């Protein structure tokens, strides 16, 4: 008689990016973020839709679950909150009034909520926040053993954790504890530079190459005591996040000679310099930690997770530094990935499930991170027919050819094929694609399609086999988590006085053509690369290969399929709405192709852009 | 959103139960007996000594109000926070379950 499969559900919720993940016999089956269903970016609410999607993907009922694991320990979190608030004194009252009701209404009662939603009594377990991150980094990685580095804003108490994984599981070595947090330091600068905490960090990273790290020394001297082993403490008298309300205080503002930039106001050279400075300090800290971890564990491989692991510029530096021989980063490195880690912790630690073999030597167990829901051709056709929308039915080969052909003539394509990505990056399942050779692609996609800040660069998806033609990148980067230099051979000289007449004019710098692939070449000749192979995403590989046939360039622009502030599209309806509201030319949904010129007038409310809060 | 009575209850709890704890409790509590000295006095890392998670370490009974209260009390036994578990659960009775916090500020997200 065969044993029943061990299904373990992991859940992250109540902070940012709530999510669910399902692991069966140690292999991830499905994972999804709640925001994709509710259409509220970074939705922190209980992930009922994501849970249902995971169960549907596995075609099981809740009663078949061996257990559910919450991604952190509420006792430790509440301990940290009460102690921190007590220490902050009366100043913490406003944040107490704002934050505690969530605990009293919901967070303490996770099990009740889960029981109600599942309609089942199942064992409920609790991991630790950084243990979940560590598990999400190690178990799906290609390595039998690895050092583990997790860095984020804050878990329960931990903000940085150094650990190790091997055949016997996970071991936690050292940690940095709240309020000292590299993630919160970066977030403090994010807010000071006028971006939103928890979503603007990526923008700050993108802004950094426009500036000079002229404040880095000031940061080291006044804000962070960074030791040689990567351990650190923050000078808490410059920060206000323990009491709530805001990240920084007057002492911080005095240090940088002015108040925070107002959101949506013009970005100044000073903001770019601040971005470059905190980026430099962050990279230094990460490199110090990595060196220490290598020495401490003796491991040759490093795996990473936690929000700071989404800093692909720092990741690229870490790779090039060669401290570890190999590097793997969990693509859902933020809190959503905690759900996946929690499911792994439950499987391996509690249910004693052995780790599954890697699908092939050197390949990871993340399945390309295409772990979310998919829509069948029947479902798509029903949707299109119901709304009487004109479309062409295309075979897989025709889809690749038609998409590539549209891109090669400068058109922008919304591309929705297969299971959605788990994690913040679009990897060719829900992507907006463009021609990287065009100087206009970046501005058109930023301003007429994404409606986002014009300084933000776009990323390339490149055929794995062609990557070396364009980028100095020795390894695969399937999850777009590594920034690499654009090859010298394709770089172009830039006028040295670009933007010199007005140092706050970033647009002049953005508009400079820097390589033969200007749309994906950042101001510092770098690119955030996704390498695409034919194994995990053959349809997308085929599109880029066809584009290569037509143009000689095995690379396309890949941006997430959404507008600013909107979660990535999930359903055909989400995709069609986004297509019609923006200047995209072609929409591909599974084996259906829609051309903008053939679509009926789209009835939309006038203020649709207010539907999504700006990130 | 909270009503006036809820706000008053939160303020009272904050001033009567939390503030008196003072800044002396604001750090992570050391386990009974204290931790061994750090191997490197120049390091700011907190040691966890290669600790492995165990099946037992994942088990916390938060299945109902009584068990949540007991779990908190056990967690804080012998610390200045002892007694706060029961008190928090009493306070929670004033906050019937409703829409979860989805719109608190991002700063409070990090903290809470």
In angstroms, what CA-CA distances link A106 with A43, A69, A426? 15, 17, 32
Q: For residue A271, which phi and psi values (nearest 5 degrees)? A: -65, -40
Give B33→chain A minimum CA distance, Å: 19
Q: How far apart are CA A105 and CA B97, in angstroms?
A: 5
A and B: number of Cβ contacts within 8 A: 225
A204 in Cβ contact with A189 (< 8 Å): yes
Name the residue in chain B with its Cα closest to that of A168. B52
Displacement of CA A193 from its chain's centroid (Å): 21
- pLDDT digits 0-9 by tens, A569-596: 999 999 999 999 999 999 999 999 999 9
Instruction: Tell me which residue of A285, A293, A188 sits closest to A242, measured CA to CA.
Output: A188
Question: In the structure, what pLDDT confidence band is assigned to residue A507 with cuts at 50, 70 and 90?
Answer: confident
What average pLDDT does range A551-577 have in this prediction?
96
- pLDDT digits 0-9 by tens, A42-63: 999 999 999 999 999 999 999 9
- pLDDT digits 0-9 by tens, A359-384: 999 999 999 999 999 999 999 999 99
Q: How far apart are CA A471 and CA A467, in angstroms?
A: 6
Measured over all CA atoms, what is the biggest interatomic distance in chain A, rounded to whole angstroms? 78
User: For chain A, what percent of residues have pLDDT higher than 90?
Assistant: 88
* CB–CB contact A95 B107 (8 Å): yes
Work out whether the CA dihedral A440, A607, A199, A14 comes out positive or negative: negative
Question: Which of A79, A95, A126 lies nearest to residue B108, judging by beta carbons?
Answer: A95
What average pLDDT does range A453-457 have in this prediction?
77
Options 3.30.420.40, 3.10.20.30, 2.10.60.10, 3.90.870.20; CATH of A377-490+506-611:
3.90.870.20
Name the residue in chain A with its Cα closest to that of B73. A75
Question: In the structure, what pLDDT confidence band is assigned to residue B104 with cuts at 50, 70 and 90?
Answer: low
Listing DSSP states for A71-131 in one string gives SS-HHHHHHHHHHHHHHHGGGGHHHHHHHHHHHHHTGGGHHHHHHHHHTS---EEE--HHH
Question: In the structure, what pLDDT confidence band is assigned to residue A243 with cuts at 50, 70 and 90?
Answer: confident
Q: Which CATH number does A7-140+337-367 carry?
A: 3.30.420.40
Indicate the SS3 state at residue A1.
coil
- pLDDT digits 0-9 by tens, A85-133: 999 999 999 999 999 999 999 999 999 999 999 999 999 999 999 999 9
* CB–CB contact B52 A171 (8 Å): yes
- pLDDT digits 0-9 by tens, A594-613: 999 999 999 887 677 777 77
Name the residue in chain B with its Cα closest to that of A247. B107
Percentages (nearest 5) of helix, strand, coil residues in chain A: 40, 20, 40
Residue A244: CA atoms inside 13 Å, Cβ hemisphere, count? 26
* CB–CB contact B22 A69 (8 Å): no
Looking at residue A445, its pLDDT comes to 87
Angle between helix A74-88 and helix A93-105 axes, rounded to 10 deg: 160
Q: How far apart are CA A536 and CA B85, in angstroms?
A: 49
* CB–CB contact B101 A69 (8 Å): no
Work out whether the CA dihedral A312, A317, A323, A326 comes out positive or negative: positive
Instruction: Tell me which residue of A256, A284, A281, A277 sits closest to A213, measured CA to CA.
Output: A277
Domain ranges of chain A: 7-140+337-367, 177-328, 377-490+506-611
Looking at residue A199, its pLDDT comes to 85
Q: Per the structure block, which two tokens stand in for A252? A: 């911080």
For domain A177-328, the question of CATH label 3.20.20.70 is answered with: no
CB-CB neighbors (< 8 A) of B76 in chain A: 79
- A7-140+337-367 against A377-490+506-611: fold identical: no
* CB–CB contact B81 A105 (8 Å): no
- pLDDT digits 0-9 by tens, B58-83: 999 999 999 999 999 999 999 999 99
Q: Per the structure block, which two tokens stand in for B111? A: 């903290």
Per the prediction, chain A carries an average pLDDT of: 94
Measured over all CA atoms, what is the biggest interatomic distance in chain B, rounded to whole angstroms? 52
* CB–CB contact B14 A85 (8 Å): yes
Residue B41 has pLDDT above 80, yes or no: no
Residue A543 has pLDDT above 50, yes or no: yes
Looking at residue B34, its pLDDT comes to 47
Question: In the structure, what pLDDT confidence band is assigned to residue A451 with cuts at 50, 70 and 90?
Answer: confident
* B99: exposed, middle or buried (Cβ count in 10 Å: 0-12, 13-18, 19+): exposed
Q: For residue A384, which phi and psi values (nearest 5 degrees)? A: -65, -40
Strand ranges, E, within A496-596: 526-532, 555-560, 586-589, 592-595
* CB–CB contact A102 B112 (8 Å): yes
Q: Is the peptide bond before A310 cis (omega within 30 degrees of 0)?
A: no
Give A350→chain B minimum CA distance, Å: 4
Is the backbone of residue A428 left (phi > 0), alpha (psi -120 to 50) or beta?
left
User: For chain A, what percent of residues have pLDDT higher than 70?
Assistant: 98
- pLDDT digits 0-9 by tens, A405-440: 999 999 999 999 999 999 999 999 999 999 999 988
Is the backbone of residue A298 left (phi > 0), alpha (psi -120 to 50) or beta?
left
* CB–CB contact A187 B110 (8 Å): yes
Question: Which of B21, B47, B55 lies nearest to residue A349, judging by beta carbons?
Answer: B55
Q: How far apart are CA A306 and CA A290, in angstroms?
A: 15
Q: How far apart are CA A549 and CA A534, in angstroms?
A: 16
Residue B106 has pLDDT above 70, yes or no: no
* CB–CB contact B44 A15 (8 Å): no
* A15: exposed, middle or buried (Cβ count in 10 Å: 0-12, 13-18, 19+): buried
Name the residue in chain A with its Cα closest to that of B43. A231
A242 in Cβ contact with A161 (< 8 Å): no
Looking at residue A149, its pLDDT comes to 98
Looking at residue A605, its pLDDT comes to 72
The number of residues making up chain A comes to 615
Per-position b or e across A20-57, b if 16+ CB within 10 A of its CB: bbbbbbbbbbbbbbbbbbbbbbbbbbbbbbbbbbbbeb
Residue B99: CA atoms inside 13 Å, Cβ hemisphere, count? 7
Listing DSSP states for B30-70 in one string gives PPTT-PPPPS-TT--PEEEEEE---TGGG----SSHHHHHH
């Amino acid at each position: 008689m065969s044993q029943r499969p061990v299904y373990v559900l992991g859940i992250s919720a109540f902070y940012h990016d709530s999510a669910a993940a399902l692991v069966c016999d140690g292999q991830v089956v499905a994972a999804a973020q709640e925001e994709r269903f509710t259409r509220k970016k970074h939705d922190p609410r209980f992930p009922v839709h994501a849970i249902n999607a995971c169960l549907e993907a596995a075609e099981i009922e809740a009663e078949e679950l061996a257990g559910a694991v919450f991604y952190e320990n509420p006792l430790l979190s509440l301990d940290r909150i009460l102690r921190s608030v007590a220490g902050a004194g009366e100043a913490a009252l406003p944040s107490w009034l704002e934050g505690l009701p969530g605990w009293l209404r919901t967070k303490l009662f996770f099990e009740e909520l889960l029981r109600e939603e599942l309609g089942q009594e199942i064992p409920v377990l609790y991991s630790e926040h950084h243990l979940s991150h560590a598990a999400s980094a190690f178990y799906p990685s290609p390595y039998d053993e690895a050092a583990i580095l997790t860095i984020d804003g804050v878990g329960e108490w931990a903000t940085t954790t150094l650990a190790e994984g091997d055949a016997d599981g996970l071991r936690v070595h050292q940690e940095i504890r709240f309020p000292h947090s590299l993630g919160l330091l970066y977030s403090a600068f994010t807010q000071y530079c006028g971006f939103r905490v928890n979503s603007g960090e990526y923008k700050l990273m993108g802004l950094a190459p426009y500036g000079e790290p002229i404040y880095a020394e000031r940061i080291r001297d006044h804000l962070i005591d960074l030791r040689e082993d990567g351990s650190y403490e923050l000078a808490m008298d410059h920060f206000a996040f323990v009491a709530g309300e805001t990240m920084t205080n007057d002492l911080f503002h005095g240090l940088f000679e002015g108040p925070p930039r107002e959101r949506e106001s013009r970005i100044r050279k000073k903001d770019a310099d601040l971005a470059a400075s905190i980026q430099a300090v962050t990279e230094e800290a990460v490199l110090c930690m990595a060196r220490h971890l290598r020495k401490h564990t003796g491991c040759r491989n490093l795996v990473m997770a936690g929000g700071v692991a989404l800093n692909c510029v720092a990741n690229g530096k870490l790779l090039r530094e060669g401290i570890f021989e190999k590097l793997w980063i969990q693509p859902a490195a933020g809190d959503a990935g905690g759900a996946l880690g929690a499911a792994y912790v439950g499987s391996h630690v509690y249910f004693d499930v052995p780790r599954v073999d890697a699908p092939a030597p050197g390949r990871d167990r993340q399945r390309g991170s295409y772990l979310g829901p998919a829509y069948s051709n029947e479902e798509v056709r029903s949707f299109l027919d119901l709304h009487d929308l004109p479309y062409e039915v295309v075979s897989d080969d025709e889809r690749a050819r038609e998409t590539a052909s549209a891109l090669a003539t400068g058109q922008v394509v919304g591309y929705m094929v297969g299971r959605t990505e788990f994690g913040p990056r679009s990897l060719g399942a829900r992507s907006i694609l463009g021609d990287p050779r065009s100087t206009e692609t970046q501005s058109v996609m930023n301003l007429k399609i994404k409606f986002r800040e014009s300084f933000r660069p776009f990323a390339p998806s490149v055929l794995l086999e062609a990557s070396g033609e364009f980028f100095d990148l020795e390894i695969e980067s399937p999850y777009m988590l590594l920034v690499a230099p654009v090859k010298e051979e394709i770089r172009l000289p830039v006028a040295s006085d670009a933007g010199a007449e007005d140092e706050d004019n970033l647009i002049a710098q953005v508009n400079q053509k820097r390589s033969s692939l200007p749309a994906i070449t950042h101001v510092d000749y770098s690119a955030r690369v996704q390498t695409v192979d034919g194994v995990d995403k053959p349809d997308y590989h085929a599109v880029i290969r066809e584009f290569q046939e037509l143009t000689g360039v095995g690379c396309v622009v890949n941006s997430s399929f959404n507008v600013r502030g909107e979660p990535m599209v999930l359903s055909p309806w989400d995709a069609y709405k986004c297509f019609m509201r923006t200047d995209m030319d072609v929409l591909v949904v599974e084996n259906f192709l829609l051309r903008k010129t053939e679509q009926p007038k789209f009835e939309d409310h006038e203020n649709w852009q207010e539907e999504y809060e700006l990130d | 959103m909270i009503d006036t009575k809820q706000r008053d209850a939160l303020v009272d709890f904050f001033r009567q139960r939390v503030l008196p704890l003072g800044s002396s409790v604001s750090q992570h509590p050391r386990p009974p007996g204290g931790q061994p000295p750090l191997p490197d006095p120049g390091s700011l890392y907190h040691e966890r000594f290669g600790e492995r998670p165990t099946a037992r370490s994942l088990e916390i009974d938060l299945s109902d109000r009584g068990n949540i209260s007991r779990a908190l009390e056990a967690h804080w036994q012998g610390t200045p926070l002892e007694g706060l578990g029961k008190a928090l659960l009493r306070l929670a009775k004033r906050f019937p379950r409703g829409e979860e916090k989805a719109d608190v500020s991002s700063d409070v997200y990090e903290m809470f």
